[in-house]
């Protein structure tokens, strides 16, 4: 029965605070995932140390090595605007 308990798919121990959908689905999988707030913050943190693999812009999204526009395909997310 423990298998049916809903947990954050990232840290596997906290209770999920949100369901990953629209934005998150691009990053993780093409389906919604349950995730806690601290993992969301970690995934979407602005990484100013690593340039985008595609266009070399900064910041990039978390550990993805892709900038906002290359991650989501939305120019509005350039410059860490997410």
- Applying CB under 5 A, which of residues 11, 21, 25, 41 lies at the interface with Zn ion? 11
- Would you state the structure tokens that stand for residue 32, as one six-digit string? 């919604």
CA 5 to chain centre: 23
Which residue, 20 or 36, has its beta carbon nearer to Zn ion?
36
Cα distances from 72 to residues 14, 16, 22, 50, in angstroms, run 27, 23, 10, 17
If one asks whether residue 40 binds Zn ion (CB under 5 A), the answer comes out as no
Of 20-28, 37-45, 73-81, the window that binds Zn ion (rule: CB under 5 A) is: 37-45
If one asks whether residue 10 binds Zn ion (CB under 5 A), the answer comes out as yes
CA atoms within 13 A on the CB side of 61: 22
If one asks whether residue 43 binds Zn ion (CB under 5 A), the answer comes out as no
Q: Which one-letter DSSP state was computed for residue 58?
A: S
Which residue, 4 or 73, has its beta carbon nearer to Zn ion?
73
Interface with Zn ion (CB under 5 A) = 8, 10-11, 14, 36, 39, 52, 54-55, 57, 67, 70
């Amino acid at each position: 029965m423990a298998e049916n308990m809903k947990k954050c798919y990232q840290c596997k121990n906290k209770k999920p605070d949100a369901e990953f959908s629209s934005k998150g689905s691009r990053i993780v999988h093409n389906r919604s995932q349950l995730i806690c707030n601290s993992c969301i913050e970690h995934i979407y943190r602005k990484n100013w140390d690593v340039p985008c693999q595609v266009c070399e812009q900064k910041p990039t999204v978390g550990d993805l090595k892709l900038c906002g526009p290359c991650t989501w395909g939305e120019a509005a997310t350039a410059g860490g605007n997410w």
